[in-house]
Amino acid sequence: MALLKIITLPDPKLKMKSAPVTEFNSDLKTLVDNMFETMNFAKGIGLAAVQVAIHKRLIIIDIGDLSAEEKYLEGDEESEKRLSERKRVSNLEVYVNPVILESEGEISYEEGCLSVPGVYADVKRKERLKIRYQNLDGKFFEEETHGLKSIVLQHEMDHMDGIVFPDRLGPMQRMLVLNKYSKQQKEKLKDEEPA
């Protein structure tokens, strides 16, 4: 297995739509293994292939035994500590070419993203989903989800369509989040410059 580079805003590759997966082979399984290692190393709970610059309709999630009542922010130190304490079980789930068939209800959750590190905002999502997807062998499945799993699936499925979570915010909130992110990135670059 290998760690992959997670691309971050403003990389234009994050805004590209992903193509359907058509080949179900050992390369796909290797990609999933590498994505899983990368997601765990980054202390994430979901990762889309586009986030590692591979434009295929593939996402993985591992929320262990976390629930929507336990706020988890990717990249937040306190959340990562809580995740390591609460995520007693690893439960990798792979979704190839996922599609939402039905959705209902509404849930608001403070989201973060490995591709937009250091900023968070409440995003409204559908509370319940019915989805169809394929597994690593190409077999079709349907699944109904709710709560945190629905939130994570929608967040990662957005990535496949070139949507990052700030795109789901109102204009003012989006501007505030992106300005904060831009400022943090400039400070990070400044800190990395040789003295």
What does the pLDDT read at residue 64?
A: 77
- Going from the N-terminus, what domains does the chain have, and what CATH number goes with each? 12-192 (3.90.45.10)
What does the pLDDT read at residue 80?
A: 61
3-state SS track over the chain: CCCCCCCCCCCHHHHCCCECCCCCCHHHHHHHHHHHHHHHHCCCCEEEHHHHCCCECEEEECCCCCCCCCCCCCCCHHHHHHHHHHCCCCCCEEEEEEEEEEEECCEEEEECCCCCCCCCEEEEECCEEEEEEECCCCCEEEEEEEHHHHHHHHHHHHHHCCCCHHHHCCHHHHHHHHHHHHHHHHHHHHHHCCC
Dmax (CA) for the chain in angstroms is 55
What CA–CA distances, in Å, run from 169 to 5, 70, 89, 165? 26, 22, 32, 7
* pLDDT tens-place values along the chain, 195 residues long: 799 999 999 999 999 999 999 999 999 999 999 999 999 999 899 999 999 999 999 999 998 776 655 565 555 667 666 565 555 567 899 999 999 999 999 999 999 999 999 999 999 999 999 999 999 999 999 999 998 999 999 999 999 999 999 999 999 999 999 999 999 988 887 777 765
What does the pLDDT read at residue 84?
A: 59
Q: Which of 79, 97, 78 is nearest to 148 (CA)?
A: 79
pTM over 0.75: yes
What does the pLDDT read at residue 25?
A: 97
Q: Which of 68, 69, 64 is nearest to 86 (CA)?
A: 64
From the candidates 142, 156, 187, 193, give the one annotated as an active-site residue.
Answer: 156
What does the pLDDT read at residue 88?
A: 59
What CA–CA distances, in Å, run from 164 to 14, 28, 47, 110? 8, 24, 12, 14
Annotation marks residue 156 as catalytic: yes
Omega within 30 of 0 (cis) for the link into 10:
yes
What does the pLDDT read at residue 104?
A: 97
